[in-house]
Amino acid sequence: MFRCHGYAAASPKAPLAPFSFERREPGPNDIQIEILYCGVCHSDLHRARNEWGGTIYPCVPGHEMVGRITAVGSAVTKFKVGDTAGVGVMVDSCQRCENCKDGLQQFCEVGQTETYNSPDKHTGGHTYGGYSSHIVVDETFVLRIPEGMDLAAVAPLLCAGITTYSPLRHWKVGPGQKVGVVGLGGLGHLGVKIAAALGANVVLFTTSLGKSDDAKRLGVKEVVLSTDADAMARHANSFDFILDTVSANHDINGLLQLLRRDGTLTQVGVPVEPQAIHAGTLVGKRRNYAGSTIGGVAETQEMLEFCARHGIVSDIELIAIHQVNDAFERMLRSDVKYRFVIDMATLPAA
């Protein structure tokens, strides 16, 4: 075991604060990474504050990290010391069930090991995430960062990027389609960039009209204020696909009515409360209401290559780690352009 330092929440109401803990020495298949940058995902906030229930404390959040490899196990073949590497939302899975065999480790039947807040089969404790100095991960779950990408701005691709890329690909978004993205935050702004790169005509639904100019720069064709009933009605029955990234309760029925026959609204945002759906809205036009979570390891690598080819990284605001509690508050106010990324060089030594 070796000593790491990071930032943890000690309880649902406690701000994140410096915290030291142990990680395992790298085993034969493991890679040890010094973390350089870690994105701040809204899931980190939901989890640190126990908004979904089930948070294990102390909670070290963070599942969008990029770093430098400082050690590799004897059986590691894909990476060497000094390489840059990425780690996302998962660090392990059973690797034997049907879903794992299909490369869909995010749906592991046994339960994937999430980067934080999962049982840690090596230590007997629970996993700690990327708001920390180092991480040790089986090489199967380590991503290669394509040459030349900005390392801080690539970090959010490891969760926000794959979470939007995977459903856009699964529901075959492509040229000529009318595609809605709901919410221009971390996920939403990458959803816009990726959908536009896939050739779709992207419409943004937002509660923040002040983001309109940015939205156009990111690739949006039209911005709709989702609280303006008339503006919404003008788009009735016209969308092939809508990706909903909203983190809080909101009116989903109003969005479902904008789908054309057989259209799909896919939820990737995970509001805390259950949402009421009118069945009539679905049956009337054979509409689909669906969900999606991150993506498998191979698809995450594919997403990174896709983003490298299309010049896509996250728009970020780089922060020092002591600013993370303020970043959480700003995220709650939808005041983020468009992902906070922690510069881990600012982590105080233990």
Ligand X SMILES: NC(=O)c1ccc[n+]([C@@H]2O[C@H](COP(=O)([O-])OP(=O)(O)OC[C@H]3O[C@@H](n4cnc5c(N)ncnc54)[C@H](OP(=O)(O)O)[C@@H]3O)[C@@H](O)[C@H]2O)c1
- What are the residues binding ligand X (CB under 6 A)? 41-43, 46, 159-160, 163, 183-188, 206-208, 211, 245-248, 250, 268-270, 293-294, 331, 334, 336
Whose CA is closest to 66, among 91, 84, 50? 84
Residue (163 or 281) nearer to Zn ion, CB: 163
Would you call 210 exposed, middle or buried from its count of C-beta atoms within 10 A (0-12, 13-18, 19+)? exposed
Q: Would you say the C-alpha torsion 298, 103, 165, 39 has a positive or negative sign?
A: negative
Let me know: does 310 contact 197? Beta carbons within 8 Å.
yes
Residue (58 or 167) nearer to ligand X, CB: 167
- For residue 89, the minimal CB distance to Zn ion (Å) is 6
The binder of 39, among ligand X, Zn ion, none, by C-beta within 5 to 8 A per type, is none
Q: Which residues have CB under 8 Å from 43's CB, separation 6+?
A: 61, 63, 159, 270
- For residue 127, the minimal CB distance to ligand X (Å) is 17
Residue (211 or 287) nearer to ligand X, CB: 211
Residue (10 or 94) nearer to Zn ion, CB: 94
Per DSSP, helices labelled H in 198-321 are 212-218, 229-233, 252-256, 279-283, 297-309
Q: Would you say the C-alpha torsion 222, 341, 158, 37 has a positive or negative sign?
A: positive
The binder of 166, among Zn ion, ligand X, none, by C-beta within 5 to 8 A per type, is none
Let me know: does 129 contact 9? Beta carbons within 8 Å.
no
Residue 286 Rama label (left phi>0; alpha psi -120 to 50; beta): left
The binder of 123, among Zn ion, ligand X, none, by C-beta within 5 to 8 A per type, is none
Residue appearing with tokens 């480790």:
105
The binder of 42, among ligand X, Zn ion, none, by C-beta within 5 to 8 A per type, is ligand X
- For residue 42, the minimal CB distance to ligand X (Å) is 3
Residue appearing with tokens 């007997």:
124
- For residue 47, the minimal CB distance to Zn ion (Å) is 9
- For residue 31, the minimal CB distance to Zn ion (Å) is 21
The binder of 100, among Zn ion, ligand X, none, by C-beta within 5 to 8 A per type, is Zn ion
Residue (58 or 156) nearer to ligand X, CB: 156
The binder of 314, among Zn ion, ligand X, none, by C-beta within 5 to 8 A per type, is none
- For residue 229, the minimal CB distance to ligand X (Å) is 15
The binder of 93, among ligand X, Zn ion, none, by C-beta within 5 to 8 A per type, is Zn ion
Q: Which residues have CB under 8 Å from 81's CB, separation 6+?
A: 69, 70, 71, 72
Give 17's strand partners: 8
Residue numbers at the binding site for Zn ion (CB under 5 A): 41, 43, 93-94, 97, 100, 108, 110, 159
Residue (208 or 300) nearer to ligand X, CB: 208
